[in-house]
Structure 1
Amino acid sequence: MSHVRTHERNLVRTALVVRGGWDGHDPVGATERFIPALRDAGFRVEIADDLAVYDEAARVASFDLVMHCWSGGILTADQESNIVAAVRSGTGFAGWHGGIIGTNVSNPAYLRMVGGRFLYHPEGFQEYTVTIDPAPTTDGEITEGLADFKVCTEQYWVLSDSHSTVLARSVFDATADSEWQEPVSMPVTWTRRWGAGRVFVCTLGHRVADFDVPETATMIRRGLLWAARDRSREKDSSR
């Protein structure tokens, strides 16, 4: 019996919340909106306010999920290597807005892992529609039941690639002053496999009030849980 209890304790999933960087994205207030959902889902949550947490390779790899909310960061070579190796081995990695793709822009391995880099947004907040993919090839549970919805926030133009599964998009319309002559579709929410790990990114979330939009909050909450390592197979194999 004691062995069973010990094993069950070992199956408690853990999440590392790494938050800091530019205060304009309110990393503390933003992450506090989603930490309760992780705890409600049974995660033991640890919080780090220094990128030095990534210096310890074994510790980073021990977490089932890393929620990264650090705008404008730069990782050392060892920190970049450690977090990318952790994800390859199964640690989930997730975040939103500049906290995940407006950061570590001098770290190419990190950028390949997350699958996108922020390039530009029009000045100020824009009113635009987020279009949900009605039939994604995978990971549709993140947007299941959600319909297209409107937001008023920053609209991110990003550099991305085809390895990701895009679950939601927005469109930059052409205007008389724009350099492009036709509408440009841009990913808003995507998932990605990196080795044994899962990566979730949403470009919404400039301010905490953005999470008051139910669809935005739902996508991010589901994405965090989706990205986390699934230990159920370990439990099944131990029986």
Structure 2
Amino acid sequence: MRTRRALVVRGGWEGHDPVGCTEVFTPGLRRAGFEVSVSEDPAVYDDAERLAATDLVVHSWSGGGLSPRQEANLVAAVEAGTGFAGWHGGVIGTNVGNARYLRMVGGRFLWHPDGFQEFTVRVAAGPDRDGEITEGVSDYDVVTEHYWVLSDSLNTVLATSVLAPGDGDPWDVPVEFPVVWTRRWGAGRVFVCTLGHRVADLQVPQTATLVARGLAWAARS
């Protein structure tokens, strides 16, 4: 049996604690038999051969952008079967000038209300088509940033949340957003969770379960 390879790319804005947050999941990847390497520079995406030999990329880099070569190499690797996964601003609040990247990921962060909000993560009922990532996980409450995101119908949405209008808001009805989704992009699998501003958010048992299962699902078999 070959050893699968996971590449964790982390850095950018330190307010998202990219080191602490990725370390919530790297031990589990190693226990699952992955050879895990870490890069704290997106220049690793310049190496197309390395990406092609990688089974899972975990992207946790808030802000900044990819060079045309880096974007092309990363997207090409995913289209050929490399898995891609991430959470929160490290995956949908980043690379906003990279249209191919955003299409591959399937969503973009736009805004969140000031501070932390209490809201319910509504988990899709029944087994999902993508490896039962949600199996045994029921709706649960969180207190964290509530992301307003744009997405599209190519995503398989595994969990949602509802943002109700407040006094003075320019919208007048509750708005539902995806919180967790999967996506097929070429031969590759993509997993995204909008939760994860801080380590404590990713340690919520339900969120930790969804993300750990999502990483496993996204990885090339």
Shorter-normalised TM range? over 0.9
Equivalence for 1:160: 151
Structure 2 residue matching 1:142: 3-state secondary structure:
coil
Cα deviation per residue 1:125-146 (whole Å; 9 max; x = unaligned)? 0000000010365225111100
Pick from 137, 156, 173: which aligns with 2:164? 173
Q: Show the counterpart of 2:216.
A: 225
Task: State the partner residue of 2:108.
Answer: 117
- Matching residue's letter, 1:180: W
In the other structure, the counterpart of 1:216 is 207
Q: Which 4+ residue blocks in structure 1 deviate beyond 4 angstroms?
A: none
1:134 aligns with 2:125: yes
Deviation digits for residues 31-62 of structure 1, max 9, x if unmatched?
00100010010000000000100001111111
**1:108 equivalent in structure 2:** 99
Corresponding letter in the other structure for 1:147: S
The aligned counterpart of 1:30 is 21
Other-structure match for 2:64: 73
Identify the match of residue 140 of structure 2 among 134, 140, 149.
149
* Structure ID, larger Rg: 1
8 Å contact kept, 1:136–1:166: no
Identify, as 1 or 2, the structure richer in helix. 1
Correspondences of 1:2-81 after superposition (within 5 Å): 8=1, 11-81=2-72
CA positional deviation for 1:212: 2.3
C-alpha contact 1:168 1:187 (8 A) present in aligned 2 = yes
Is the counterpart of residue 88 in structure 1 residue 88 in structure 2? Answer: no
Task: Give TM-score scaled by structure 2 length.
Answer: 0.98
CA RMSD across the alignment: 0.9
TM-score (norm: length of structure 1): 0.91
How far apart in 2 are the matches of 1:66 and 1:196?
Answer: 14
- Whole-Å Cα distance in 1 between the matches of residues 163 and 185 of structure 2? 29
CA distance in 1, matches of 2:31, 2:131: 22
The within-5 A match list for 1:185-204 is 185-204=176-195
Measured in 1, the distance between the counterparts of 2:190 and 2:45 equals 17
Amino acid in the other structure paired with 2:122: T
Name the residue aligned to 1:236. none
1: CA distance between counterparts of 2:122 and 2:199?
21
* Paired letter, 1:109: R
Is the 2:128–2:158 Cα contact (8 Å) retained in structure 1? no
Measure, in 2, the Cα distance between the counterparts of 1:137 and 1:104: 29
Instruction: Work out the percentage of aligned pairs sharing the same amino acid.
Output: 66
Q: Which residue in the other structure is 2:196 paired with?
A: 205
**Letter of the structure 1 residue corresponding to residue 109 of structure 2:** F
| Shift in alpha-carbon separation, 1:124–1:175, aligned structure 2, 3 A | same
- Gaps of at least 5 residues in structure 2 are none
The unaligned stretches of length 5 or more in structure 1 are 1-7, 231-239
